Amino acid sequence: MLERIHKIAEVLAAVAIAFSLVFVGLQIKQNTRAIASQEDSSVWLPWLDLFQMTVSSSEFTYILVRGRGWFDRTALGRAFQ
């Protein structure tokens, strides 16, 4: 009788370990997605700010376009063309 209880406890422990491994795997996957999403936001937010400034101010747009023309005439600017 005691041996039977021991075997049942071993099976239950193995099942609990399997479930906990699945749970940890799902948590890691969710965390990875959250980090990737945050990184995407950190890359695009400065560009969004620049776009909003360009749309809201014709003076800023003029400065940006003028600066871009100056940059394109530099050696570094020509390297990006």
Model confidence at 18, pLDDT cuts 50, 70, 90, reads very high
Confidence at residue 39, expressed as pLDDT on a 0 to 100 scale: 84
| Stated pTM of the model | 0.49
Distance (Å, whole) CA 41 – CA 37 = 6
Is the pLDDT higher at 46 or at 15? 15
DSSP conformational letter for 73: T
The first and second tokens of residue 71, run together, are 């940059």
21 neighbors 31 (Cβ within 8 angstroms): no
How far, in Å, are 33, 47, 75 from residue 59 at the CA level? Answer: 39, 18, 27
pLDDT for 77 beyond 70: no
Instruction: Tell me the pLDDT tens digit for each residue of 24-51.
Output: 999 999 999 999 888 877 878 888 887 7
Count of CB atoms within 10 A of residue 45's CB? 10
